[in-house]
Amino acid sequence: MKPTDASSTGRLSRRDFFKGLGTTAVAAAAAQAESVAQELQKLNAEKVLGPGPVPVTLKVNGKTHRLELEPRVTLLDALRNHLGLTGPKEGCDRAACGACTVWLDGVAIYACQKLAIDAQGHEITTVEGLTPDGRLTPVQQAFVERDALQCGYCTPGFVMSVSALLRKKPKPTVDDVLHACAGNVCRCGTHPRVLEAALIAAGVRPVSMTRTEVISHV
Amino acid sequence: MKPFEYATALTVESARQLAGANGHYLAGGNDLLGRLKDDITEASRLVNIKAIPGLNRIEPGPQTWRIGALVTIAQIEDHPEIRRVFPGLHQAAAEVGSQQIRNVATLGGNLAQHSRCWYYRHRDIQCLKKRGRICYALEGDNRYHALFTGNVCISPVVSNLAIALTALDATAVVWRDGQERRMTMAELYELAWDNPTAHHSLRPGDLLLRVEIPTVRPRSAYLQISDKHSFDWALVSCAAAARIENGRIHNARIALGCVSPVPHQVTAANQFLEGKNLDEATADQVADLLLAGAQPQEHNAYKIPMARALIRRTLLQLRG
């Protein structure tokens, strides 16, 4: 169900509900907050914070957000439930499935196994931040063309892993893609399509690999 | 996760003080946050140690390399000189977790990670390693467990880097009681041999600062076999390091992982290798020495032939 359909019938979609939770935090974003963040970090060094909510400043997709979070809040929870960014998904919550993959300073990490308070001072990028203008990146376009998804829950994580690889290595080999995506799991079994999409996005001609051959690698 | 306090330390000594009696150091957090989420570990406070200067450096040297405890596994994997000088360490790093894990996981965290025994990791099971009375693996599903142990607990050490660094005869430098203390890799784990509640020899408050690796063994290799092709712990791992002159092996060290609570080494196996030609017959004799006295459990006897195959492959890889 599209969010617009939900609002036209006067109901609130699940996604809108979660996004609404984050509006106060988003409104608090300000251009000056970045220097505030650095100042806060200096002031907070060697000070014991929490366990109750404490100021946490996160730079996400180029915008700075000031939040009040308990130290135990993970980066994934902060992104989804406080900033309304539902691109990163919660799957295992144990650094095992890859659905929550985001970038920290341009490299892929699991947002579920990082504390939000520990992500301060870094540039965080979610799948929403890849396309600020709403257009698809070549990687996303290749996922669409190769139909590299079924239910789609793992897709944002895969897109972030593949995109991080192509930043580091624009012309990857099959093994490079498998190595970079080993930490993302697709329960629908679309791994062969993801591999093809990654190679197409990189302009590398996909080798012919059977589904079984690919699955035996992942 | 249960609530906890949080502090960022700027020096090693302040980290020690901030951690106090029930605090835990936080670096990559992969192992620690997983344990906190599953109530395996309790923490009143986490002390972020990543702002301590000097612990994130890779310092090459003609005789010794120093690798800081905060260096990430990805940095080790991607370092072109490490790949050339310590290929076994590169291979071990490349097998750690997934790209997302390697990007944040640190050398120190990899060495200090806790057992992966599924009874230990189960939130409702109070096993011997969690100061309970029983090792459930002994009578239970022990397919991933040890062939050797000096106590009743049969959960094995699973750090890849520990095995590679054991073969390279690295020294771990630990901050303890206000001073640096140097430990061999055997010393870094020896407590886990006797003591079922130990995962390594580090005491609460000890902070791993760096490892120092001698360059006297230019050939090294690390291989593992896992259930999955990637992103998996090893069923068995093997690392070897040596110098090779005129086809003969010198100063060799070989170690097995995931078969003992400590990196499994046998002095007689290392001594046997001295001056030998690296061939399959030599490898088989080394395997006999390394696996002598192995005590398989009901479900893990497969580790013995698997270890033999890995010993052979690893030693033959040293030939280049």
pLDDT tens-digit series, residues A124-161: 999 999 987 889 999 999 999 999 999 999 999 999 99
What's the topology of domain A3-130?
Answer: Ubiquitin-like (UB roll) (3.10.20)
In DSSP notation, A26-70 reads HHT--TTHHHHHHHHHHHHBT--B-SS-EEEEEEETTEEEEEEE-
Q: What is the pLDDT of residues B221-237, one digit of tens each?
A: 999 999 999 999 999 99
- Which of B9, B48, B231 is closest, CB to CB, to A182? B231
Distance separating alpha carbons of residues A46 and B214, to the nearest angstrom: 35
Tally Cβ neighbours within 10 Å of residue B162. Answer: 27
pLDDT at A212: 54
| Calpha distance A20→A23 (Å, rounded) | 5
Residue closest to A37 by CA, chosen among A125, A119, A132, A108: A119
pLDDT band at A36 (very low <50, low <70, confident <90, very high): low
pLDDT in tens, A89-136: 999 999 999 999 999 999 999 999 999 999 999 999 999 999 878 899
Mean pLDDT across A24-29: 40
The pLDDT assigned to A43 comes to: 63
CB–CB contact B99 A161 (8 Å):
yes
Separation CA B296–CA A191 (nearest Å)? 37
Give the CATH H-level superfamily of domain A138-215: [2Fe-2S]-binding domain (1.10.150.120)
pLDDT score at A35? 54
Ranges of residues in chain B whose predicted pLDDT is under 50: none
Nearest to B71 by CA among B96, B26, B106: B106
Per-domain boundaries in chain A: 3-130, 138-215
Chain A interface includes B292 (CB < 8 A)? no
| CA dist., res. B262 & res. B186, Å (int) | 7
pTM score? 0.92
Is the ipTM of this structure higher than 0.95?
yes
Report cis status (omega within 30 of 0) of the bond before B296. no
> What are the residue ranges of CATH 3.30.390.50 in chain B?
58-113+155-318
Question: What's the pLDDT score for residue A205?
Answer: 76
A212 close contact with B: CB closer than 8 A = no
Using the Cβ of B94 and the Cβ atoms of chain A, whether some distance falls under 8 Å is answered with: yes
Kindly report, as residue ranges, where domains of CATH 3.30.43.10 are found in chain B.
1-52
Which CATH architecture group holds B1-52?
2-Layer Sandwich (3.30)
What is the fold of B58-113+155-318?
A: Enolase-like; domain 1 (3.30.390)
Q: Which residues in chain B have Cβ-Cβ distances shorter than 8 Å to A93?
A: 37
Per-residue confidence band for A45, with pLDDT thresholds at 50, 70 and 90: confident
For chain A, the average pLDDT equals: 84
Within 8 A of A184 by CB-CB distance, chain B residues are 98
**pLDDT confidence of residue A33:** 46
For B103, the closest chain A residue by CA position comes to A109
